[in-house]
Amino acid sequence: MLGINRVTVWNRMRKYGINLKREIKR
């Protein structure tokens, strides 16, 4: 469970990080 949760969190962080970087570049 913890391992799966960590993976989902990492995936979400990556998506949010990419979105934040795109907005900052704008």
Q: Is the pTM of this model over 0.85?
A: no
Instruction: Return the domain boundaries, the chain.
Output: 1-26
The secondary structure of 1-26 as a DSSP string is: -HHHHHHHHHHHHHHHHHHHHHHHH-
pLDDT in tens, the chain (26 residues): 678 888 898 899 898 888 888 888 87
pLDDT number for residue 1? 64
Residue 2: predicted pLDDT: 75
pLDDT at 23 (0 to 100): 83
Residue 4 has a pLDDT of 84
> What is the Cα–Cα distance from 18 to 13, expressed in whole angstroms?
8
pLDDT value of position 25: 80
Question: Could you give the C-alpha distances from 15 to 21, 25, in angstroms and in order?
Answer: 10, 16
